[in-house]
Structures are given as structure tokens and as C-alpha cells.
Structure 1
Amino acid sequence: MEDVITEAAAPSRFLEEDLNILTAPSSPLPSPFLIFPYTQQPQPLNPSLLIVALSTSSLALFHRLRTASPAASLILPELSLSLPDNAAHILPLSPSVLLAALPFSVPAPRAYAVAKALLAGRIHPDSVLVLDSLAPPNFRGKLSSDEAVAFKLDSAAERKRSDEEKLLPDLEYYPSGSVVDGLGAAILARCQVMNVRASLCVSWPQFDASVVSLIKGLLHRRLLQGFDFDLSDEEVLKFGRSKDRVLHSELYI
């Protein structure tokens, strides 16, 4: 006779989604929001360019600006403000350019809510540049940590521009069949809905001195000409080499 005490229970006859209807749904998270310094006049910010730094390399490029006084801050209610990297500061790079530096990762279910909070209300940029990293599982092709590469995706409003007017005219488009997800894709989708000029730059390796130099060169050639990053070539070398020392197989193969 079977021991009913120690024998494993029989598998449930219910599907997982059927069992979930018996539990109370979790309360929705509050929406992300912007806060502004109390000294700032209550008027919208209308930069000609908003740069959104998401990748580790782009954050490293602007790391010395974190001590500057922010024009605004993006807050996620679920993140504790007791940690310094749990707020995204929006910093002025010039009278017409703003930088939104997001040092924390945003879960996929919250990506569009963050994009909407960033590009709604009191921030209305004429154009948006997103600096993100390339995820190897999403790329159809081969990647090596010995070579820094970058590609772009543009909104419809940006693609209509001539090569002389585009944000990143030197970059090739992301290969067909490759995928972009996360906050970078959500921001680009938000710009597409709002008919805003936008370009999403994805780079590889995810953190590498060569990628920092590549992004710095792209910005210096067109968008931030003459801007002092306060980052010498010797300091760039201190970022070291990427730990991703392998070739990645092509997507779908």
C-alpha cells in the first residue's frame, strides 16, 4: 500500500492560469514621474536634443556630470531613493541639449511607462538620441569583443531627413532580422507615436574602452561639437576590456 504521507502529490488537473484566477490580483505599481528643483519656473523644457544614456559605456562617458545640478529627475516609485543610483537625473549639456542618464535597469513591463514619463508633460524635445547596448541573443550576425561596433534604428520622422540633417549619418542601420527590446525600444516607439525625430544607437561590447571612444567620436563629430567630456584618452583606457571574449552565433541558426 502506498504511504499517503510521504508519496509525492499527484499533479494538479488545473492549468496554471486557472489557478491564478483564485488569487487576488496584485495592486498596480504607481506611474513613474518627474520632479523638478523648487527654484525652477513651472515651464516646459524644450531642448533641441535629448540624449538618453542607457548603456554602461555611455554612462561612463558622462560619469563626471553626475555632480551637476539636474534640471529634473525621473523617479520610479518602486526604487528606494536611499541609493544614489535609483534616480535618473536630467542634466543640461548646453542651452539646447539635455542628457537623461539612467544608471538603473528598467524591467520590461515598466519600459513603456518610463518612456511615457520621460517624453510627456514638461519635456518636449525636437529630437531624441538613445544610447543603448546590443544584446548578443538579439543580433543576427557574429559579434566579437575584439571589435567595437554600433548600429542605429530611426523613427519615421528621422528617416525622412536628408543625410546632412540626420542625427547619426555615419552609422549603418541595424541588420534585418535582429531585435531590440527593453527601454531603448520603448523610447523609440514613444517617439514614433509622437512623430518626433529619434535615433536609437546600439553598441557592442556592452562595456569597453573602445566603445566609449566610439560613442565619444560619434557625438563630437556632429551633435556635441566642441563639448568637453572631461575624459582623456588615458582615462578611457582605464575602463578596461570587455569580459565577453567569445564569438556569438548568428540569431536563428
Structure 2
Amino acid sequence: MSFKSWASYSQFSQSVRNKSRYVLDRDSQDFLKGIKDTCTSRVMIIPPNSEIWRAQMGHNTVPLMQDNIEVDDIFVPYPESRMRPLKDSATEGRANPKGIPCLYVASDKKTAMSEIRPWLGSTVSVAKFSNKNELRLIDFSKHPNVTLPFFFAEPDDAKKIEAVWKHIDRAFSEPVTNSDQKSDYAPTQIIAELIKSLGYDGIAFKSSLCAGINLALFDLDCVDFKGSNLFKVNGINFSFENYDYERYM
């Protein structure tokens, strides 16, 4: 089975954000069936003993002692307990609804730090994790920045599948902001839960802020903590483009 339309993701997204989220209509169910039938070509393997990274804003402090007198505080990175998500108080995320945590990590340190949007001069705790076993993920990072296709008539199945996956890749890579409505997460959360139900270990999606890949792992304990270090943000690079608002008027 393929997808009904090259625009199936857009239709699904609109439906679960604004119509029905917990009891899916037939078209939404068919869309998820299309993902199930076509996602095997998107399997990403993370070999055992790979290094993956997670960053958190802030640090702990320990006292600096001289002659049994505390003279100052020393900044130290957060311990493992702070570098893993809390199992009973997860916030909304790109791949998880509130209360059901994922372990969000990155393929490299710079991507992990960039994803938390630190400010200049801030300190960041960065933990290294490693997986004992092979991890099988579905890769949503193949086409995050391409021009999205548009068709006036339905194309053949191959082009239809390619178009839908390009739209899904874009959805997962879009930057998350504090002003986002929680309903904006619904389409990707539902897709991630489908991938989880199929027995995969997580999903991969392109970072919008750096060159690396983000990973959302469903099992919080599928990786081992290897240590953490503290970093200070010395510089932030911004890039701007003209927003062509007139085309919407």
C-alpha cells in the first residue's frame, strides 16, 4: 500500500491538529498504514558502542575548601541523574506527548549544545552516552531542507511516496519554539508512536540549528552514561533572510 495522495501528510497534519486526535478518522489511519508499509527503506542502524550526546543548560556547584573553610564555589557538570529525562514528568516534545518521555540525544556535541539554544556566556553540561546493543531507528533526516514538491495531478506511486516523506522530514526538522501550540506537536508525536509500536528503538531527524542529527530514543535505559563535561558558550552565530510576507497578502 502507498499513500492516497502526495499531500497526505498535510491532510493528516491538519486533521490531527484541528479535528480528531485520539480517535483517528479513516484517512488518518490509512496515512499511518502508508508509513508502516514504506518506512522499511528508512531504517538507520546505530552500531553498538557508538557515542551519542545530550546537553542541558546549567551546572552543579561544589564548595572550594581551604583549611576547612568554604572560600568559593566550583562549577561542575550535572550528574547522570540530571542528564536523563525524568520518567514521571516529561514535557511535550517533537516525538513525545506530555508524560511519556523520550531520550533526546544528538550525533555530536555541537549539535547537542545548539539544540538547547544557549545564550552567550552561559554554561552547558554535556553528557556522553553509548549503546551496548545495536539500535534500529527510522530516519526522518534525508530531505529536511529541500523544496517541497507540489503536483496539480496525482503522480505515480514512487513520486507520491517520495513527496510524502519529504513533507514528513520537513515536519520533524522544523524548529521548536516556546510559542508553538501543543497541538503543533501532534502529527509528529503520532508518527513517532507508530514507529515505537512497530518495534523500532527510536527516530532520527535533522537538526535545524547544526549539521548533526537528532535522535529520539524510546527506551530511556537503552544507552549507558559515560560521563559529563562542562562547556561555556563563547560565541553564537546568527543568519537572517528576508521574510517575504507580501506573498501571503
- Scaled by the length of structure 2, the TM-score of the pair is 0.26
Higher relative CO (Cα under 8 Å, sequence separation at least 6) belongs to 2
Task: Give the greater-gyration-radius structure (CA).
Answer: 1
- Scaled by the length of structure 1, the TM-score of the pair is 0.26
